[in-house]
């Protein structure tokens, strides 16, 4: 059976076939496996690996975060917890090694039969409104957020823990807006009366009725499954557990997924995942890469087909100013653009109207640091439009950073804190030099934080004239304390008319 699995060639793409009699029907299979037998064997391998995984995670979780240390001091807990539980966890790890080895021998070959993402389709009573082409205008909204849902022990590298509680809180934040009845009206705002007004909003909650939710760093499978469960009553289409594990499709052993997660109101017609081959250091153990998704952006089954393209990126190399790492990030962006073009060429049909083409994710570099000069001039910014950017090393006056290194954001008034320049200096990471040191020139005013989370878009020439207008760009602070990033949101207004 294992020999047959290794010989079986599987494609990483599922798509709507040309000439399909039911173009609006769902074509993606939900399970990553073609049958229940393979799915059961895969689950058995995971069960055998879990005791060792859990023991190792608990050992790393003995390190305290700042919040846990303060809580221990307040309640005067015993500081010898690590000395008592550490040896017991180490003993469990050693005793579970034989079953883990057996599970690994079963788990690795299964990757050859596994599609590199799971898909969930929920039949909901509420559907997006029909957009007839040509016709009236249509708004599409997007949210991108790095949620840092690593196993507890690894999340503490970012001074975060309690993965299960944070996943529940993030899911609650994302669904609160979906449960509200109306969409917040767009508005402009200013920084301290000194900066020019723009289509920017600093908001605490996530906007209601978001069409596409794109999350990064959902590395823990339990967290991904929990988010899928929380979002499924509101989003009909969810792509999660994205990544090629083991040695499948990659040059190094992958023990963590790509961390990418997508929830959509609109039907997913095709999805493709590609893994970066140039991972370094600890990032080489995760299957970071690019998730490409084609959706039907019009719920009508008529012609022409109104399509949307959404590309979600998670670069391998973490924020670091060293030239070698900058070159790796540039290479990853270049590969991403080539994969985007290949995906579009593969799935395009004559007469398709591309309503939107959005590229989003945590890029791990900013547009204000001299240490990120190489990435700031990349080709992606000539092909896609960044609403917050004027040019290299120059953001729009209303843009703010999205990196929260200190995790000290006060949950009482995070919006008011970031609207004030002193608050941004305190809680947002500042620009860096080539050697990684803080940039002393950033001490002047206006002060810019490191904006490493992006939502880019571009227009496509089609048979129907479409105009794309930026309606609002949002910086969302509701995840303060749950992540070390500020989430970002984008609303695009599309108007269609005959040429």
Beta-carbon contacts of 59 under 8 Å, excluding residues fewer than 6 positions away, are: 86, 89, 90, 93, 153
Q: Which residues pair with 198 in a beta bridge?
A: 189
DSSP for 125-173 reads S--PPP--SSSS-EEEEEEEEE-----HHHHGGGT---HHHHHHHHHHH
From 226, 265, 347, 485, active-site residue: 485
460 is annotated as an active-site residue: no
Q: Residue 143 and residue 488: Cα distance in Å, rounded?
A: 6
Element (H, E) at 326: helix 323-347
- Calculate the alpha carbon distances from 124 to 6, 120, 165 in Å: 38, 12, 27
Assigned token pair, 440: 């002393």
Q: Residue 396 and residue 388: Cα distance in Å, rounded?
A: 5
Assigned token pair, 109: 């070959």
Element (H, E) at 287: none
If 0-12 CB within 10 Å is exposed, 13-18 middle and 19+ buried, where does residue 168 land?
Answer: middle
Active site residues: 485
């Amino acid at each position: 059976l294992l020999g047959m699995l290794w010989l079986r060639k599987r494609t990483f793409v599922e798509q709507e076939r040309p000439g399909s009699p039911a173009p609006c029907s769902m074509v993606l299979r939900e399970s990553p496996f073609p049958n229940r037998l393979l799915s059961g064997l895969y689950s058995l391998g995971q069960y055998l690996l879990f005791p060792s995984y859990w023991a190792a995670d608990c050992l790393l979780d003995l390190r305290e975060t700042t919040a846990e240390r303060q809580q221990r001091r307040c309640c005067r807990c015993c500081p010898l917890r690590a000395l008592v539980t550490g040896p017991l966890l180490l003993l469990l790890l050693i005793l579970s090694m034989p079953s883990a080895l057996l599970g690994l021998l079963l788990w690795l070959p299964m990757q050859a039969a596994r599609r590199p993402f799971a898909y969930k389709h929920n039949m909901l009573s509420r559907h997006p409104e029909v957009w007839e082409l040509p016709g009236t205008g249509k708004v599409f909204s997007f949210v991108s957020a790095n949620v840092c849902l690593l196993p507890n022990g690894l999340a503490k590298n970012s001074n975060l823990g309690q993965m299960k509680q944070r996943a529940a809180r993030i899911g609650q934040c994302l669904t609160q807006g979906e449960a509200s009845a109306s969409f917040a009206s767009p508005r402009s705002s200013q920084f301290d009366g000194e900066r020019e007004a723009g289509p920017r909003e600093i908001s605490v909650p996530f906007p209601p009725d978001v069409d596409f939710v794109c999350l990064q760093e959902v590395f823990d499978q339990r967290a991904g499954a929990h988010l899928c469960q929380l979002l499924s009553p509101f989003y009909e289409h969810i792509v999660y557990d994205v990544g090629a594990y083991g040695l499948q499709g990659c040059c190094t052993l992958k023990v963590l997924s790509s961390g990418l997660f997508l929830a959509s109101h609109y039907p997913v017609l095709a999805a493709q995942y590609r893994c970066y081959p140039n991972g370094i250091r600890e990032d080489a153990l995760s299957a970071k890469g690019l998730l490409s998704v084609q959706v039907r952006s019009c719920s009508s089954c008529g012609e022409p087909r109104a399509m949307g393209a959404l590309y979600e990126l998670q670069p391998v190399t973490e924020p670091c100013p060293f030239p070698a790492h900058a070159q790796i990030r540039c290479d990853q962006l270049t590969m991403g653009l080539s994969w985007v073009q290949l995906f579009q060429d593969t799935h395009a049909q004559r007469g398709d109207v591309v309503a939107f083409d959005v590229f989003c994710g945590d890029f791990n570099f900013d547009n204000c640091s001299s240490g990120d000069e190489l990435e700031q001039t990349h080709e992606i910014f000539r092909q896609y439009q960044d609403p917050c950017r004027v040019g290299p090393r120059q953001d729009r006056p209303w843009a703010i950073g999205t990196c929260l290194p200190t995790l000290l954001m006060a949950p009482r008034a995070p919006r008011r804190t970031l609207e004030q320049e002193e608050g941004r200096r305190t809680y947002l990471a500042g620009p860096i030099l080539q050697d990684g040191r803080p940039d002393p020139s950033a001490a002047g005013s206006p002060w810019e934080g490191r904006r490493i989370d992006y939502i880019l878009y571009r227009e496509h020439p089609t048979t129907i004239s479409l105009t794309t207008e930026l309606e609002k760009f949002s910086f969302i602070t509701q995840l303060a304390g749950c992540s070390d990033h500020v989430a970002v949101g984008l609303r695009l207004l599309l108007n269609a008319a005959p040429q």
